Chain A
Amino acid sequence: SQTIHQWPATLVQPVGSPLSLECTVEGTSNPNLYWYRQAAGRGLQLLFYSVGIGQISSEVPQNLSASRPQDRQFILSSKKLLLSDSGFYLCAWSARDRSLAKNIQYFGAGTRLSVL
């Protein structure tokens, strides 16, 4: 079965420090991968998606970047964190085959980031 892992679960970082959040998927190949941000009490905002190694698309301009060095690894980064980067970050994956299953997105447990 497929599983998705995100770490760390919580992170407290000072303003101006770098960030690296990692997400890995097991049990599937060639997944589409996604990074979302969820502000407190709000919905999910898509930040980045990737359809393959090295292929990253950004949905909104921001202080963050994403990379996909391996097929099932997705990394969210920042060189210098801002206060406004605080939030709950979620990684998700979906199948990239031609079946109907490709519509379904599965989420990780999330990382709660506090920038102080």
Chain B
Amino acid sequence: GENVEQHPSTLSVQEGDSAVIKCTYSDSASNYFPWYKQELGKGPQLIIDIRSNVGEKKDQRIAVTLNKTAKHFSLHITETQPEDSAVYFCAASALSGGYNKLIFGAGTRLAVHP
């Protein structure tokens, strides 16, 4: 079945450094790849997404890259700040029976130290 693997499971960086989280997916029909940020005790919030017709997308300090051939995509956070500390989830989507099914990675706990 569909699967999304996410690495690393935990990531610790110093404030101002960059952080990179990588995901691979198994379903070649996947065409939409969102990234969610989940703070403690809250629901996941969409922070950036990319579609299969684009190789890279950037929004201020956050960027996502997609390699369809290799079936992997990555989240890049530059100039990290303590408020970036959270759990980040990648997901891959494919249309199934009229709705979009999201397969989530297991998450990466990012800690940014002042």
Interface residues of A (CB under 8 A from B): 6, 32, 41-44, 46, 49, 51, 57, 90, 94, 96, 100, 102-110, 112
- Taking each of A100, A106, A107, which has the highest tally of chain B beta carbons within 10 Å of its own beta carbon? A107
B 65-114 contacts with A by CB, 8 A: 89, 93, 97-102, 104-107
Tell me if B49 is interfacial: C-beta within 8 Å of chain A: yes
- The yes or no answer to B22 lying at the interface (CB within 8 A) is no
* Chain B contact surface mostly: strand
Query: Chain B: how many interface residues by the 8 Å CB criterion?
Result: 24
Cβ distance A50 to chain B, nearest Cβ, rounded Å: 9
CB distance from A63 to the nearest CB of B (A): 22
- Write the residues of chain B forming the contact surface with A, with a CB cutoff of 8 angstroms: 6, 32, 34, 36, 41-46, 49, 51, 89, 93, 97-102, 104-107
Q: Which residue of A lies closest to B9 (CB)?
A: A41
- Provide the bound-state CA to CA distance between A32 and B45, in Å: 17
Q: Across the interface, which residues of A come within 8 angstroms of B41, CB to CB?
A: 110, 112
Q: Is the CB of A43 within 8 A of B45?
A: no
